């Protein structure tokens, strides 16, 4: 669905490369996580996958970028955005500013595409239910809290029904409950056949929802593979992403020979219950 | 410095009752985390400490002052408040000047300003960025500039509003060590956070809020062992507490070392 | 926080097509300025504006808002024109060089009545018309969507940015900035705080335009609109009547000149 080969990129007016020799292969209908320290180049990669680089930002881009069968750099932005949706980092800026209610804000993209009124209303209702924002529909997008605005921003892209959806830190302003809900929504979208690329650093949730994870560090992809394998890699500490407490506890337990050496440390609660099952309530602690 | 809330109620001008009678006291040098879902009233509560909000009824005291008798500017000498959104706080063209703004307002002499700024930038890992324009930094760096700007004021009380959001692993570690240093210096630290692992590892006391009320107020070990309270406040227990309870343990390990100590005890 | 003065009610006036109201407003302005006698304004006031205000249910707010604007304007107008009108001969009262003349008062009445109509009618439009609906209606009548976007987003973003300015100010007070002192000093300390806001605004605009493209703003498709803008044959007729009346008003003085 997404295929990047040997992609390098430098922003205009600089010879410093933000990304070098990136290869990325995302199959259709999966949730793929991309993690990296701040400043590692995540937002840049998100913009490349969604066509905003080079169509908006310019700069020096090389390599092949194919998304949903489209050669993005050689296509136009208008075509790109009908194949890939991008949820940008700042919900405040994702909101158009032109609409006076959340309801109309959600429909903004569909109005631009000339979708029939009845269908718009149905799709607004569906996406509002999906993200639990039905009660906000008649409020002004600017009278919302940061977290509520973020849900509206995500909904405003989901409603576009692009085959590929790229999300750049979509849960930065949400509380744990809201974050979990957004991840559940991602899984639901995947089940309906949509391909999702999510730039996040909530390792535990990525383990639960993503099939594959890639790590960006030093302007490159330094590790790729199944979520549990990549997210339990001790090098995550060095790459400033950090592992979960489960992983650290299991690593320390192995070091102290309390657990047998394993090939894959646990990342999530479920992984750990299995790993530590021998310690189930042995005696009063 | 000690701070206290005495039956504080706050109703927004629109009529929304954000705080419904809050009473608690934070002794000098204590580290307190406030948790709860968005909209629970956490930010409204801590903004009473520096006078941005004044209670509709009840009183807030900071040391021997009642906030009602003092301006925000006066209270700033006692309470440093780091906003959640750095873009609401930063304004200077250079990181150095932004961090120096508070100390200068507090009439530090130039030598003291320079040393306070240098120290704060070092603690937040921004020494190299002293001459950068804040708007050219990443969000996580801007958040740390906002933190440095408050640290440099050397207030006896420091309030942090969601300090770890937008920070990568290194950023979170840096903030954890700043909280530790503040505690060692006997300064009072109050932080709002959604990161329960960060909370369990770095704070001696946790307050759980929901709908403008305090649901629980105790040590992390006690608070995170109250499933009904956590569910009501839509708060998740820290990772290792969840694991310990799934394994049927009676103990509540709040960090990796404590968890592994338990493993050792159990395998003996 | 309200983003406009819109007074959300369900009256007939509120439910009129925004374009009808806009045409009526423009026609009224043309009429009272084309025929510069006070009784034309009075007729418009009694026949159109007062009934519309009463039906809308927003009359109270209309009165309180417009009085705030009108009282100072009218006071200045009557004092200045009444006392210093150059051609004034019928002197009612005199004090040194100042003289209150009938001609002056009549002139002030002529200008004042037109200002009253202008202000009342404009505020009534704003009170009874949702800005979003106005934009959709204008787009349906052929206004470019880019232009509509610029207008609506400005309307929306001004309060959003003033919120941000407010919180920047609070944040600096929280860092010891004292706002005590003369108004001049306050302005001096507040000015530097605006620079990040303006700078931030530019970054925001750039990022927002990216987000707009991602939502197909550049799409060549013919736009649709989620909320239908109500329109009726009666309103279409009414609009032409207003246009005709305005044209008539322009023609009147010309015709009278010829005759």
Q: With helix as H, strand as E and coil as C, how does B61-72 read?
A: EECCEEHHHCCH
Q: Return the bridge partners of A195, or none.
A: A164
- Asked, for residue A52, whether it belongs to a domain, the answer is yes
Q: What are phi and psi of B57, to 5 degrees?
A: -150, 160
Same domain membership, residue A162 and residue A126: yes
Is the distance from CB of A33 to CB of A212 less than 8 angstroms? yes
Lowest mean pLDDT among A73-87, A251-265, C82-96, C237-251: C82-96
Distance CA(C12)–CA(C27), nearest Å, equals 20
Percent of chain B past pLDDT 70, that is, above it, reads 100
Answer yes or no: do C219 and A124 touch at CB < 8 A.
no
Distance CA(B73)–CA(C178), nearest Å, equals 5
pLDDT above 50 for C13: yes
- Asked, for residue A74, whether it belongs to a domain, the answer is yes
Same domain membership, residue B191 and residue B61: yes
Task: Provide the residue range defining the domain that includes B223.
Answer: 3-236
Please report which confidence band the pLDDT of residue A284 belongs to, taking 50, 70 and 90 as the band edges. very low
- Asked, for residue A284, whether it belongs to a domain, the answer is no
What total number of domains does chain A contain? 2
pLDDT above 70 for C2: no
Question: Is A260 part of the contact surface with chain B (CB cutoff 8 Å)?
Answer: no
Q: Tally Cβ neighbours within 10 Å of residue C132.
A: 26
Same domain membership, residue A33 and residue A47: yes
Residue tagged 């929901």 (tokens): B210
The distance of Cα B83 from the centroid of its chain, to the nearest Å, equals: 10
Same domain membership, residue A167 and residue A248: no
- Asked, for residue A285, whether it belongs to a domain, the answer is no
Residue tagged 């590692």 (tokens): A40
The distance of Cα B143 from the centroid of its chain, to the nearest Å, equals: 13
End-to-end CA distance of chain C, in Å?
A: 57
Distance CA(B226)–CA(B216), nearest Å, equals 9
Same domain membership, residue B145 and residue B133: yes
Cis peptide leading into A54, omega within 30 of 0?
yes
Same domain membership, residue B82 and residue B148: yes
Starting at the edge strand found earlier in the chain, the sheet holding A60-67 runs A19-26, A2-10, A60-67, A70-71
Same domain membership, residue A263 and residue A209: no
A193 sits in which H/E element: none
Distance CA(A249)–CA(B258), nearest Å, equals 9
pLDDT above 90 for B128: yes
Is the distance from CB of A223 to CB of A215 less than 8 angstroms? yes
Task: Tell me the pLDDT tens digit for each residue of B66-121.
Answer: 999 999 999 999 999 999 888 888 888 899 999 999 999 999 999 999 999 999 99
Answer yes or no: do C196 and B90 touch at CB < 8 A.
yes
Same domain membership, residue B186 and residue B260: no
Distance CA(A137)–CA(C222), nearest Å, equals 25
Same domain membership, residue B199 and residue B268: no
Burial environment of residue C220 by CB neighbours within 10 A (0 to 12, 13 to 18, 19 or more): exposed
The CATH number of the domain holding residue A229 is 3.40.50.300
Q: CB under 8 Å to B107, separation ≥6 — which residues?
A: none
Question: Is B184 part of the contact surface with chain C (CB cutoff 8 Å)?
Answer: no
The residue of chain C nearest to residue A104, with distances taken between CA atoms, is: C226
Mean pLDDT value across residues A9-26: 93
Task: Provide the residue range defining the domain that includes A39.
Answer: 2-243
Same domain membership, residue B247 and residue B157: no
Mean pLDDT value across residues B115-128: 95
Q: Return the bridge partners of A86, or none.
A: A166
Same domain membership, residue B223 and residue B244: no
Q: Return the bridge partners of A8, or none.
A: A62
Task: Tell me the pLDDT tens digit for each residue of A198-221.
Answer: 999 899 999 999 999 999 998 999
Which has the closest alpha carbon to B169: A65, C233, A203, A123? A203
pLDDT above 50 for C1: no
Substitution target from A14, A38, A88, A139 for chain B, most B beta carbons within 10 A: A38
What is the predicted pLDDT for the residue at A58?
A: 84
Task: Tell me the pLDDT tens digit for each residue of C134-178.
Answer: 888 888 888 887 888 887 777 777 777 777 788 888 888 898 888
Which has the closest alpha carbon to A24: A46, A39, A43, A40? A46
Task: Tell me the pLDDT tens digit for each residue of C52-77.
Answer: 999 999 999 999 999 988 998 999 88
Same domain membership, residue A269 and residue A153: no
The residue of chain A nearest to residue C1, with distances taken between CA atoms, is: A143
Chain C environment of A156 (Cβ under 8 Å): 215
Same domain membership, residue B20 and residue B153: yes
Task: Tell me the pLDDT tens digit for each residue of C41-53.
Answer: 999 999 999 999 9
Mean pLDDT value across residues B221-228: 94
What total number of domains does chain B contain? 2
pLDDT above 60 for C12: yes
Task: Tell me the pLDDT tens digit for each residue of A126-146.
Answer: 999 999 999 999 998 888 888
Same domain membership, residue B246 and residue B125: no
The b-or-e profile of C46-66 (16+ CB within 10 A means b, else e) is eebbeebbeebbbeebbeebb
């Amino acid at each position: 669905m997404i295929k990047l080969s040997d992609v390098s990129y430098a922003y205009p007016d600089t010879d410093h490369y933000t990304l070098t020799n990136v290869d990325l292969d995302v199959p259709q209908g999966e949730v793929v996580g991309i993690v990296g320290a701040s400043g590692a180049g995540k937002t840049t990669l998100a913009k490349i996958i969604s066509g905003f680089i080079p169509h908006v930002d310019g700069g020096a881009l090389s390599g092949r970028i194919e998304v949903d069968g489209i050669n993005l750099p050689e296509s136009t932005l208008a075509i790109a955005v009908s194949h890939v949706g991008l949820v940008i980092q700042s919900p405040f800026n994702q909101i158009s500013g032109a609409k006076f209610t959340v309801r109309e804000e959600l429909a903004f993209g569909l109005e631009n595409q000339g979708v029939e009124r009845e269908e718009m209303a149905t799709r607004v209702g569906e996406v509002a239910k999906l993200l639990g924002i039905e009660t906000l529909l008649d409020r002004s997008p600017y009278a919302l809290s940061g977290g509520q605005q973020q849900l509206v921003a995500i909904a405003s892209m989901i409603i576009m029904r692009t085959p590929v959806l790229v999300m750049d830190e979509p849960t930065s302003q949400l509380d744990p409950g809201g974050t979990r809900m957004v991840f559940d929504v991602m899984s639901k979208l995947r089940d309906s056949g949509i391909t999702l690329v999510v730039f996040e650093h909530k390792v535990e949730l990525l383990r639960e929802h993503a099939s594959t994870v890639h790590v960006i560090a030093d302007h490159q992809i330094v590790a790729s593979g199944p979520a549990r394998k990549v997210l339990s890699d001790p090098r995550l500490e060095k790459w400033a992403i950090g592992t979960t407490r489960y992983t650290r506890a299991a690593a320390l337990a192995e070091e102290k020979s309390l657990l047998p050496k394993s090939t894959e440390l646990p990342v999530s609660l479920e992984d750990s219950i299995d790993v530590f099952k021998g310690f189930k309530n042995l005696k009063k602690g | 410095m000690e701070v206290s809330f005495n039956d504080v109620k706050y109703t927004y001008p629109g009529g929304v009752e954000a705080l419904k009678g809050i009473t608690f006291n934070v002794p000098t040098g204590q580290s307190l985390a406030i948790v709860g879902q968005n909209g629970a009233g956490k930010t409204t509560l801590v903004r009473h400490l520096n006078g941005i909000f004044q209670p509709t009824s009840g009183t807030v005291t900071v040391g021997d002052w009642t906030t009602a008798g003092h301006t925000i500017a006066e209270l700033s000498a006692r309470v440093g408040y780091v906003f959640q959104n750095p873009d609401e706080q930063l304004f200077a063209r250079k990181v150095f000047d932004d961090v120096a703004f508070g100390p200068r307002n507090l009439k530090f002499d130039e030598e003291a300003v320079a040393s306070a700024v240098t120290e704060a930038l070092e603690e937040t890992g921004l020494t190299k960025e002293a001459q950068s324009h804040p708007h050219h930094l990443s969000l996580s760096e801007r958040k740390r500039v906002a933190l440095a700007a408050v640290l440099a004021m050397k207030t006896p009380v420091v309030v942090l509003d969601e300090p770890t959001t937008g920070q990568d692993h290194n950023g979170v570690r840096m903030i954890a060590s700043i909280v530790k240093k503040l505690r060692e210096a006997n300064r009072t630290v109050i932080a709002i956070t959604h990161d329960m692992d960060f909370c369990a590892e770095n704070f001696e006391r946790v307050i759980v809020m929901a709908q403008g009320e305090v649901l629980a107020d105790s040590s992390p070990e006690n608070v995170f062992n109250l499933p009904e309270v956590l569910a009501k406040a839509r708060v998740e227990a820290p990772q290792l507490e969840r694991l310990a309870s799934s394994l049927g343990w009676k103990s509540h390990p709040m960090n990796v070392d404590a968890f592994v100590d338990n493993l050792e005890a159990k395998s003996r | 926080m309200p983003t406009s003065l819109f007074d959300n009610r369900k009256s007939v006036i509120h439910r009129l097509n925004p374009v009808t109201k806009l045409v009526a407003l423009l026609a009224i302005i043309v009429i009272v300025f084309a025929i510069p006698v006070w009784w034309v304004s009075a007729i418009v006031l009694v026949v159109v504006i007062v009934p519309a205000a009463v039906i809308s249910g927003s009359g109270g707010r209309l009165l309180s808002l417009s009085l705030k604007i009108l009282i100072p304007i009218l006071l200045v107008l009557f004092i200045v024109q009444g006392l210093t009108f150059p051609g004034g001969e019928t002197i009612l009262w005199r004090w040194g060089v100042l003289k209150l003349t009938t001609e002056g008062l009549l002139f002030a009445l002529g200008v004042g009545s037109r200002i009253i109509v202008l202000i009342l009618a404009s505020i009534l439009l704003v009170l009874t018309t949702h800005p979003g609906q106005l934009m959709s209606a204008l787009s349906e009548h052929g206004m470019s969507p880019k232009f509509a976007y610029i207008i609506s987003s400005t309307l929306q973003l001004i309060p959003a940015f003033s919120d941000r300015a407010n919180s920047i100010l609070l944040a600096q007070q929280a860092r010891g900035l004292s706002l005590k002192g003369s108004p001049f000093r306050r302005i001096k300390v507040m000015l530097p705080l605006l620079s990040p806001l303006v700078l931030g605004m530019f970054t925001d605009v750039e990022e927002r335009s990216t987000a707009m493209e991602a939502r197909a703003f550049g799409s060549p498709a013919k736009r649709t609109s989620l909320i239908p803008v109500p329109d009726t044959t009666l309103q279409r007729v009414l609009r032409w009547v207003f246009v005709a009346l305005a044209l008539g008003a322009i023609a009147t003085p010309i015709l009278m000149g010829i005759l």
